[in-house]
Chain A
Amino acid sequence: ASTLVYVDHNNGALNPAVRSAINAASKLGGDVTALVAGGDDASVAPVILKAQEANKYTHILAAASSVGKNVMPRVAAKLDVSMVSDVTGISSEDTFERPIYAGNAMASVKSSDAVKILTIRPTAFDEAAAEGGSATTEAFEVDATQDLATFKGQELTKSDRPQLADASRVVSGGRALKSSENFSIIYDLADAMGAAVGASRAAVDAGYVPNDLQVGQTGKIVAPELYLAVGISGAIQHIAGMKDSKTIACINKDAEAPIFQISDYGLEADLFKAVPEMTEKLK
């Protein structure tokens, strides 16, 4: 194999998910080339296509980040190949595992295309070491200017807390919080634990928190050391986003909630009493 990995960055820092993609690429065997390009998403696809034209890679990978998801299908269509999204396992050079139906089933798919295009689910692969490589760097000049889209601005959620996608601890709240004001007890507990804050789709849909906190198949997929689900019943699409966490704990007053079925530790309690108590005891 000879593999190209698209390096997703924010003009300064590497997206940590790329290190997982590089680890996945190394499992394919053969050379791994990392492509770093500037510019916005829309101009990235032509750069990857030029690199492919020049070097005829057998595989092109990116992390399944918002940039990877945006760019890679466009590259695949231009090369007239199908694409395999959200790969969680590499069985061979042409056979890959991926979740379907919100993680309720795992599909094994074999690609017959000449070039395999994959996005990699970061939580399924360890991050490759950040240092110690021996790669050489070469410049690759392309004219990939386009005028289809203009970047206007970003409004990133500012937070001193760890980033949800790569935090070692996550505290998530659900619809049982009942309001965005009440969600402050989740933030307080997260701060006491040094954790990132997440939420169920129900809490997002109800407007308690912004969508970028959503954990689940249609939101973020996380796999921290500790995932604490508070007032979350455990809908299948939420579980798909966090079931690979090392330890799962939950606080819920409904003993029948499905979240207890997948929790290592379950506390049946009123969250409005238990959460402030836990925050106080961890301070």
Chain B
Amino acid sequence: MSLKRALVGCKRVIDYAVKIRVKPDKSGVVTEGVKHSMNPFDELAVEEAVRMKEGKKLDEVVVVSCGPKGAQDVLKTALAMGADRAIHVSYDQVDKLEPLGVAKIFAKLVQEETPDLVLLGKQAIDDDANQTAQMLSGLLDWSQATFAYKIDLADDGKQLTVVREIDGGLETIDVKLPSVVSTDLRLNEPRYATLPNIMKAKKKPMKTTTPEELGVDVSPRLELLSVAEPPARSAGIKVESVDELIDKLKNEAKVL
């Protein structure tokens, strides 16, 4: 038995390969003129949903992104990867959109779209919060399976067996559907969107809405007072040999 629908989150973030710069006035990091792309953990979520669809375990993949107009770019990427349609929740002040607000938006979309499964990245690589999936499952009173390493749908379509990454290794749990699952690194290797698929994706439907239209209050609860450079660590010395390294570690740093 296949699942009817999955909602998949796609956040637009500064590309993982970009070295970020803190603004001199400490109000945030420089985002203008900086390459953005889909949050890598969300790419894993899109890939997993598309693979479930290809394996006839899922009928429809709906991708969602909350943010300014640029968020549509990551939705187009997700459509080119194989998602069926997209929902853009337009919100310009994305740096003030907290995981609680995003979870509330998704909770509302879940009411409208009635998915069996919501797949989200475990964290976004900008705020590193690691909260949205857990908050959403709390709001919905659904089961949750965070940090997924492997996801299997039971034959009766009523539960998932999820292997999770935990501190000391792996853990296996069964969760009742509907469920919220967050993805971890080793779940899969996301495909690249090919040019023909990017062209095809242009014809796929994309709906735009706003938190107000959805009737969701996303006003921030946290105030960002400042963003600063982390304390710098200065380079030490080069040693010439293994003997010198051992000597320094033993007698200078006293850590061996």
Question: Measuring CB to CB, which residues of chain A are less than 8 angstroms from any residue of chain B?
Answer: 15, 40, 42, 45, 65-67, 69-78, 80-86, 95, 99-113, 147-157, 163, 165, 169, 193, 201, 204-205, 210-212, 214, 217-218, 220, 225-226, 236-237, 243, 246-249, 251, 260-269, 274, 277-278, 281-282
Some 20 contacts from A to B, beta carbons below 8 A apart, are A69-B130, A69-B134, A70-B144, A73-B138, A81-B100, A81-B221, A85-B130, A86-B130, A102-B125, A105-B227, A106-B230, A108-B225, A155-B171, A165-B167, A218-B41, A218-B122, A263-B236, A265-B248, A266-B236, A266-B239
Contact of B228 among A108, A165, A251 (CB under 8 A): A108
Distance, CA A225 to CA B254, complexed state (A)? 9
Contact of A152 among B161, B165, B186 (CB under 8 A): B161
Distance, CA A147 to CA B146, complexed state (A)? 17
A73 with B99: in contact, given A99-B230, A109-B222, A267-B245 (CB under 8 Å)? Answer: yes
Contact A149 B143 (CB under 8 A): yes
Contact B256 A226 (CB under 8 A): yes
Residues of B within 8 A of A110 (CB): 222-223, 225
Chain B binding surface, main DSSP class: mixed
Contact of B143 among A148, A152, A193 (CB under 8 A): A148
Is B175 in contact with chain A by the CB < 8 A criterion? yes
Interface residues of B in 106-126 (CB under 8 A from A): 122-123, 125-126
Q: Mark B209-227, 1 if CB is under 8 A from A, else 0.
A: 0000000000011111111
Interface residues of B in 164-214 (CB under 8 A from A): 164-176, 179, 184-186
Is B246 in contact with chain A by the CB < 8 A criterion? yes
B34–chain A nearest beta-carbon distance, Å: 11
Residues of B within 8 A of A112 (CB): 221-223
Closest 7 CB pairs of A and B: A73-B134, A264-B236, A148-B143, A77-B138, A77-B135, A74-B138, A82-B221
Contact B172 A152 (CB under 8 A): yes
Contact B249 A157 (CB under 8 A): no
Contact B176 A156 (CB under 8 A): no
Chain A binding surface, main DSSP class: mixed
Across the interface, name the chain B residue whose C-beta is closest to A82: B221
Residues of A within 8 A of B236 (CB): 248, 263-266
A114–chain B nearest beta-carbon distance, Å: 10
Across the interface, name the chain A residue whose C-beta is closest to B163: A155
Is B1 in contact with chain A by the CB < 8 A criterion? no
B107–chain A nearest beta-carbon distance, Å: 9
Distance, CA A99 to CA B229, complexed state (A)? 10
Contact A148 B175 (CB under 8 A): yes
Residues of A within 8 A of B186 (CB): 204, 211
B229–chain A nearest beta-carbon distance, Å: 7
Distance, CA A253 to CA B135, complexed state (A)? 45
Contact A212 B134 (CB under 8 A): no
